[in-house]
Amino acid sequence: MTTDSRDRLLEVAARVYAEAGYHGTTTRRIAEEAGLNEVTLFRQFGNKDALLQEAIEQASVHRRPLLDPGATDPIAELHRWALACIHRFYHHQKLIRQVLGDTVQRPEIAPRICEGTNDEMIQLVTFLTALEERGVLQAGDPLIIEGGAAMLVHSLLSNALWRDLVPDLPSLEECAVLFVEVLLRALRAPAGIEEQAHS
């Protein structure tokens, strides 16, 4: 199987799973929509569970934004990253919801999504710690940095997942800016630093 065929199978499997859930996702449908033979699917992945686990894992790392702790304008970098995260979460909204819904009966699926969010947390904590060392932030306590990072990541994720169920929310862009500004205030960024990010 070529890399393109494998990637196509994984992409289709993630999309079908997001639409139909675990029980509604069949290997026949995945193979047909990918334009491949079902036997090829089994030869490559062994079974439906292995295919879905890899498809979910690939979707969770696809286009993951990275933070540069050495950025010349770290506040603008944080805003860029938060905006990219909220758009990515929103793009994968159905898939994430489906995984959350299936977690009780299929707990082996959950770590794939949790690991993805944890990677964002680790990256953000590292970034914020570097900003404190540079004097951009004044949190004063590693636990405050970890709590602030958790607050930002979970705010971005929750907003992206449930926004279509809540009427009259500000745009993704406005929410990302608001969440970052709340984080900066919580971590005692020097006065006026939020304004610098918008100039």
pLDDT band at 117 (very low <50, low <70, confident <90, very high): low
Whether the CB-CB separation of 86 and 160 falls below 8 Å is answered with: yes
The reported pLDDT for the residue numbered 163 is 92
- Residue 119 has a pLDDT of 81
Identity of the amino acid at 182: V
DSSP 48-77: HHHHHHHHHHHHHHTT-----TT-SSHHHH
- 62: pLDDT strictly greater than 90: no
- Band (pLDDT 50/70/90 cuts) for residue 191 is low
Question: Could you tell me which of 85, 90, 82, 109 has the C-alpha nearest to residue 98?
Answer: 109
- For 108-134, give one letter per residue: b (16+ CB within 10 A) or e: ebeebbeebbeebbebbbebbbbbbee
State the chain's maximal CA–CA distance in angstroms.
62
Q: Are 41 and 54 in contact (CB under 8 A)?
A: no
Amino acid, res. 114: C
Provide the whole-model pTM. Answer: 0.82
pLDDT, tens digit (0-9, with 9 covering 90-100), for 3-43:
788 889 999 999 999 999 998 999 999 999 999 889 989 99
Interval 156-184: pLDDT, tens: 999 999 998 888 899 999 999 999 999 99
Which of 50-54, 80-84, 125-129, 173-177 shows the lowest mean pLDDT across its residues? 50-54
